[in-house]
Amino acid sequence: MPPIRTLAEMEECNPATVQKALKILEKQGLIVIRGSKGYFVTESEKKIIELRNQHLNVGCGLLVPVFQERGVMCHYLLHA
């Protein structure tokens, strides 16, 4: 990954904001820090799939009630 200052410039934000975001990604296991070499995206396909599924479950949990309010039954969503 690019250095923190480069990421901050790219996103037009404070380097401290980038640092906080990287710490969150590190806690989630999406990136790893390798000493003075910097941050790297995890090579763990299992971890990436796990986090993707967590985010999908949250998203589905928010969408299903909205569909139900509009009369769409869950079994239609599963077989669409």
Question: In which band, very low, low, confident or very high, does the pLDDT at 76 lie, cut at 50, 70 and 90?
Answer: low
* Euclidean distance between CA atoms 3 and 28, whole angstroms: 20
Coil, helix or strand at residue 45: helix
In tens, the pLDDT along 47-65 reads 888 888 888 888 778 888 8
Q: pTM of the entire structure? A: 0.60
> Has residue 79 got a pLDDT over 80?
no
